[in-house]
């Protein structure tokens, strides 16, 4: 009887570990910004699974560095602000980036500057219809 309970506990622990590695544990996050198309955010999990999200550039209002206070620390993170279709000056959604890797502020600033350069090029480029 005790060996069955122990075997069941080990089995449940293994299943839980596999699910954690497949659905929760993110090894790598990447951001690809193409001014004429959009922004692609990819998360690679420990199991090898990848999750990709694409945001069309017409939906992007801006990219900002936001800050949050967690316990006794200030945490900085990069966010994409999405346009509100009903209000041209409004923001409909805030999409946080790099939630698992939590890069330092100096790294976020480099990514932010690169994103702003691409967004500025898009704003100054003549719009084709």
- What is the distance between the alpha carbons of residues 72 and 90, in angstroms, rounded to a whole number? 32
Backbone angles phi, psi at 108, to 5 degrees: -60, -40
Q: Would you state the structure tokens that stand for residue 2, as one six-digit string? A: 């005790």
pTM attached to this predicted model: 0.75
DSSP 126: P
At residue 126, the pLDDT reads 62
Q: Would you state the structure tokens that stand for residue 77, as one six-digit string? A: 């993170």
pLDDT in tens, 69-103: 988 999 999 999 999 888 878 899 999 999 888 89
Rounded to an integer, the average pLDDT of 39-56 is 90
Give the pairing of strands 73-83 and 91-96: antiparallel
Residue 129 has pLDDT above 70, yes or no: no
């Amino acid at each position: 009887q005790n060996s069955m309970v122990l075997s069941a506990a080990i089995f449940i622990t293994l299943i839980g570990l596999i699910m954690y590695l497949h659905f929760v544990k993110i090894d790598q996050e990447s951001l690809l910004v193409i001014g004429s198309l959009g922004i692609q955010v990819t998360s690679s999990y420990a199991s090898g699974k990848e999750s990709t999200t694409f945001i069309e550039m017409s939906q992007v209002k801006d990219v900002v560095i936001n800050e949050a206070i967690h316990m006794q620390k200030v945490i900085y993170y990069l966010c994409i602000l999405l346009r509100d279709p009903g209000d041209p000056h409004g923001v409909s959604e805030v999409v946080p980036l790099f939630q698992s890797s939590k890069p330092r502020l100096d790294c976020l600033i480099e990514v932010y500057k690169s994103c702003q350069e691409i967004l500025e090029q898009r704003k100054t480029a003549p719009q084709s219809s």
